[in-house]
Structure 1
Amino acid sequence: MGPKQLMEQDPGELDVSKLHPLSPEIISYQPTINIGLIGHVAHGKTTVVRAISGIRTTRFKCELERNITVRLGYANAKIYKCEDERCPRPLCYKVYGSDMVDDPPCDVPGFEKSKMKLLRHVSFVDCPGHEIFMTRMLSGATVMDGSLLLIAANESFPQPQTLEHWSAVDLLKIQNLILLQNKVDLVQEEVARNQYQAIQKYVKGTVASNAPILPISAQLNYNMDVVCEYIMKKISVPVRDFVSPPQMIVIRSFDVNKPGCEVLELKGGVVGGSITKGVLKVNQIIELRPGILGKDASGNLRCSPIYTRVASLHSEQNKLQIAVPGGLIGVGTTMDPALSRSDRLVGQVLGQVGTLPEVYTEIKIANTHLLSKLLGVTMNGTAQGKVGGLIKGEILLLNVSSMATGAEVLKVKDKHAKLRLKAPVCTSLGEKVVLSRRIQGHWRLIGWGVIKDGITLDILAATPDLT
């Protein structure tokens, strides 16, 4: 039985084969689409999320002191539209938090007696914009269904990380893109118009050639209703698989216990991420891979999956009985919270016992595509350098799903490469791998490839007894 203000959700009566991402009993409780905020540092990504959702995603001390996003931030919001067709656009669109009722009254003058209809429940993924946090941005990009690219009107276009983030979403084939020309309140109209025209010219013939460009001021909440309207029109909810065994990408993990907590009050570890397929249920026995890494008596690397039970499911403050593919979900478990604290489980894959992909220590990638030039970096302080081919023996940084790990290049031939991973990765053949190279002290995006084959790690399987 759900809270009175939300639609009732009875897991015993829900037929998952008939559900879809816009089912009212689903979007009443949880988001079913992820939208990333990307762009150069200090262009207003966090401010846009706060203007739309009312939530400040910078929560850590280091972020508040430096006034930048360091870790992936997240916030959920519901988008509504007035049911009266006479209600003028874009005022007819409104956004509220995840715990808002499903049919609030319209607040447009003259239409107060009309009800609003819930159309979308969205998770916003606030990505770090600083160059040294590019790998975290790539981890967040793995769960994005669409993205909002922030461009500051009071700075020249394009900035280094604007290009780098733009290239990343292009590599990951994130087609649903909206460009937000932020901070228009800080420049004169002619300056904003000139930059608008420059953006139009630059994106012509690119992945963003059909993307709308919206002038906004997130600080003054200007045109945020227009952003909501274009999210509805330009970012479609993808088709989801509700019937396969559940599988979830972990992008955050926590220990929610406070210092000095009594033993009997301890709560299990919490993981956060996005379900890619299937449906998770409370009390379900689940597995995390690769799990705990160790060595056997002969010194060979082994991995022991973590078996645990789903103690609770949450979408922000909304308590769930089932969780479906789409938005960001928090999964409370019965595992030792020491395993999940400080994002230790980021990159793991969670799912039904015995159904998860293999764990690889070496991979062969095919169809390797390298960028024509470096993005977000200058050589000798003047021009961007070219991207050289992969070199045998060099160390790269790989982003496979939400896992970031180092890899040594063992062999290179044409567009194929063999890589030895520094940390085992749970993944599938055909998965895309993003490649970064260390340049001028930072990891820079250089290209991508597809996993063709690899060497798997022995898994110490066990029969979990968590009753």
Structure 2
Amino acid sequence: MKHLILGTAGHIDHGKTSLVRALTGIDTDRLPEEKKRGITIELGFAHLELPGGIQFGIVDVPGHERFVRTMVAGVGGMDLVMLVIAADEGVMPQTREHLEICQLLGVRRGLVALTKSDMVDPEWLGLVAEEVRDYLVGSFLEGAPVVPVSSRTGAGLDELRGELARLGGEAEEKKGEGPFRLPIDRVFTVAGFGTVVTGTLLAGEVRVGDEVELLPSGCPARVRGVQTHGRKGESAAAGQRVAVNLQGVEHTEVARGDIVVPRGVYRTTRVVDARLDYLPSAPKELRHRTTLRLHSATYEVPAQVILLDRDILPPGASAFVQLRLKAPVLLLPGDPFVLRTYSPAATVGGGRVLDPMPPRHRRRSTEALELLDALGGDDETEKVRRIVGGSLLSGAPLGEIAVRSGLAARRCEGVLASLLSSGEVVQVVREPRIFLSRDAFGSLKRLLLGEVEGFLRDNTLRDGIGKEELKTRIPRRSDLRFFGPLLQALEKEGKVVVDRELVKLPGRKGSVTADQAGLQARIEAALVRGGAEPPTVKELCDGLRCGEKELLEHLAVLVREGRVVKVKSDFFYAPEALAALREKLTACLRERGEITPPEFREITGLSRKFMIPLLEYFDREKVTIRVGDKRVLRKG
């Protein structure tokens, strides 16, 4: 069975609901107010099976101008439109607006039902049909069948069914692949079952037992039951009208405009980049930063329109725009939308989403406009290449690339594999997979190498820079996980040498001037004079009249060269003095077997200021082992 959605469109009182009832036997006006007033206020639903295995879910929309927002909610998901025009009135204002909305939302097939044909003579009917055909020139319904019908007498209904079957046979079903999306157009409760929502399934398949969530709220729920066209089933597929019984959520927590999706799969957005077609019928030019009402699927939200390449968009023109939304919604690449003014309420434009997660970019940026041009095209490789390249030094995760390109995950991986093999893209993180362009990876390598060179230029005494210190110098907009792959690449290219925790330049060693060598000699002499109780770092700075940073740099060099031993952050010893203390300690331990801190002070004459740091140093050096408050000699 081929499942398609057929929607009605047209001016109020042109007979849309009567025609659906004549075709299906179903009255789509269910509200008492609708029956009392004789007009459609809310969306109505019916179904129709035709020869050839075609099943239509029919969405009947209101025709009054006050209910255009409701009509827009019904257009989302239409595969075919049945534009209803009364033979006794012809083309009217809502005929025009409904047709424009269908065109903006991407409806590409349909026909015209010329209703109330029994109320006019044949000559008038022919004139109206010709007028309608002329009006449709230039629209997606140009050349579409115009079928005179009468819902009262049944005249023309068989011909209408035949044309619908033919068009249905030519139409493509919605894609069943990927996670499902069910925009909600109606919410109600059923005694004994709880919350039920209805909508047109845009993609994928929803099954009984699925764990789902409602966006944008994120409210979790579970699918308790599924119905299509009034029949219970275990699942529903893309292109079907479906009613879903939700468990775990109250009907007061759900509203038209919410969307049911698999839990944890989709993310909402408040900013999208898009292509906007501004209608020739728009009453005035569109200015940068104008706020309009955005309609897509079954929701509406205020949207500020950022014109990316100009300040004013005249009627009839198209442009790339960024839409900044007042509330979060779910939008994906290719999703159609309509823009309407607030007062007076009128449809002025619409288009398709190009990027639901756009990076920050400047207006009139050539790179940004080229990216959007690629996203609006059919070249999948160019889309992925531009997305990764546009991420600059931040990198693009696989999931983000798939969402922004609109490609299925498997297809996205295939395109990336091709770009990886050509070297245009580099995978910098294995899990989650994050990609950089070749140029961005090269830029980061140059920046990192520049940091090494700059550090060693400013610190002539150092042989290299510590890994952790170098890691902090990666640009903030980059991921710290890039550091390892970048360092490996630089080492593989022979640009740096990694020596444990130190990153060096090949063949470079710290060098000292004559003045620096003199200072080092004075440091050594001061420590030798200090003997068992040498001067602290502060005392050395005061005595040698040098800054602490400079002193510590020289001490680090002396430690690396074995000319000084570091006991604690502010205690350094001449090797000979430390060796003498070590000998006294080991001799005592060989004789006594153990030693307490007071006994160590007794044999060395040290104050507590030096005694404790030295005992802890000998523990670290594995000369001694602490047992309680005593030390014993480490075996071996």
Greater shift, 188-197 or 47-56, is seen at 188-197
Aligned counterpart, 1:450: 352
Aligned counterpart, 2:95: 162
Shift of 1:434: 1.2
Deviations 1:66-114 (A, max 9, x none): 211111111112223xxxxxxxxxxxxxxxxxxxxxxxxxxxxxxxxxx
Deviations 1:242-276 (A, max 9, x none): 3423222222222234xxxxxxx4x2311111222
The answer as to 2:279 corresponding to 1:353 is no
AA of the residue aligned to 1:123 = G
Distance 1:232 1:388, change over 3 A: same
1:120 and 1:325 map into 2 onto residues whose CA distance is 14
Distance 1:455 1:247, change over 3 A: closer
Larger Rg: 2
Q: How does 1:416-455 map to 2 (within 5 A)?
A: 416-440=320-344, 443-453=345-355
Tell me, what secondary structure is at the counterpart of 1:196? Answer: helix
Shift of 1:444: 0.8
Q: How does 1:85-100 map to 2 (within 5 A)?
A: none
The answer as to 2:154 corresponding to 1:221 is yes
Shift of 1:408: 3.4
The answer as to 2:46 corresponding to 1:75 is yes
Aligned counterpart, 2:281: 373
Say which of 13, 26, 36 aligns to 1:42. 13
8 Å CA contact 1:400, 1:425 repeated in 2: no
1:402 and 1:132 map into 2 onto residues whose CA distance is 17
Aligned counterpart, 2:521: none
1:232 and 1:244 map into 2 onto residues whose CA distance is 28
Q: How does 1:216-295 map to 2 (within 5 A)?
A: 216-235=149-168, 236-257=170-191, 265=192, 267-291=193-217
Richer in helix (by share): 2
AA of the residue aligned to 1:272 = T
Shift of 1:241: 2.9
8 Å CA contact 1:286, 1:309 repeated in 2: yes
8 Å CA contact 1:288, 1:351 repeated in 2: yes
Aligned counterpart, 1:404: 300
AA of the residue aligned to 2:213 = E
AA of the residue aligned to 1:404 = E
Shift of 1:277: 2.0
8 Å CA contact 1:370, 1:387 repeated in 2: no
Percent identity among equivalent residues? 27
1:166 and 1:283 map into 2 onto residues whose CA distance is 39
AA of the residue aligned to 2:285 = G
Distance 1:253 1:353, change over 3 A: same
AA of the residue aligned to 1:126 = D
Distance 1:417 1:277, change over 3 A: closer
8 Å CA contact 1:271, 1:330 repeated in 2: yes
8 Å CA contact 1:270, 1:337 repeated in 2: no
Say which of 190, 207, 230 aligns to 1:317. 230
In the alignment of these two chains, the number of paired residues is 349
AA of the residue aligned to 1:447 = G
Tell me, what secondary structure is at the counterpart of 1:135? Answer: helix
Aligned counterpart, 2:117: 184
Aligned counterpart, 1:306: 219
2:152 and 2:291 map into 1 onto residues whose CA distance is 42
8 Å CA contact 1:153, 1:182 repeated in 2: yes
Higher relative contact order, structure no. (Cα contacts within 8 Å, ≥ 6 residues apart): 1
8 Å CA contact 1:58, 1:73 repeated in 2: yes
Deviations 1:293-347 (A, max 9, x none): xxxxxxxxxxxx121111111123311111111121000111333335xxx4322
Tell me, what secondary structure is at the counterpart of 2:114? Answer: strand
AA of the residue aligned to 2:70 = R
The answer as to 2:23 corresponding to 1:52 is yes
Distance 1:310 1:454, change over 3 A: closer
Richer in strand (by share): 1
Uncovered stretches (5+) of structure 2, i.e. residues with no partner: 311-318, 359-636
Tell me, what secondary structure is at the counterpart of 2:30? Answer: coil
Aligned counterpart, 1:151: 85
Tell me, what secondary structure is at the counterpart of 2:106? Answer: coil
Shift of 1:445: 0.6
The answer as to 2:265 corresponding to 1:363 is no
Tell me, what secondary structure is at the counterpart of 1:276? Answer: coil
Deviations 1:126-172 (A, max 9, x none): 011111111211111111000100110111x3200101111111122
8 Å CA contact 2:195, 2:247 repeated in 1: yes
